Amino acid sequence: MQTKNIPDGYGLRVGVRGGHGCGGVSFIIGFDKQKPSDMIYTMEGITVLIDKKHTMYLIGKAVDFYEGADARGFMFVEQEAITRGGHHSIS
């Protein structure tokens, strides 16, 4: 992460935002500092931070990287929908 100018003490935060009303939640991914309510994982040498309150929304989800002509980036998918390797599930 140091080669990407991510400061020491930061990890990759995976979580949700929203959840009020009928709009549901939006999944988020980005770099952040550790908080007291975080669960901490290490995946392929990267520190992953998940707020304990968000786990109920993340169980059964996997993070996938999509690269196509129309878009490029990370997305959250249902773990059962994955048919090829290289995905990291949150369980």
- Give residue-wise pLDDT tens across range 18-31: 866 666 788 889 99
Give 83's pLDDT tier (boundaries 50, 70, 90).
Answer: low
Residue 37 CA to residue 50 CA, distance in Å, equals 8
The CATH number given to whatever domain includes residue 7 is 2.60.300.12
Domain count, the chain: 1
- Mean pLDDT of the region 45-73: 86
In terms of residue numbers, what domain contains 76?
Answer: 2-90
Give 2's pLDDT tier (boundaries 50, 70, 90).
Answer: low
Could you tell me where the beta strands, DSSP code E, fall in 1-91? 10-18, 25-33, 38-43, 46-51, 61-67, 72-78, 88-90
Contact 10, 33 (CB under 8 A): yes
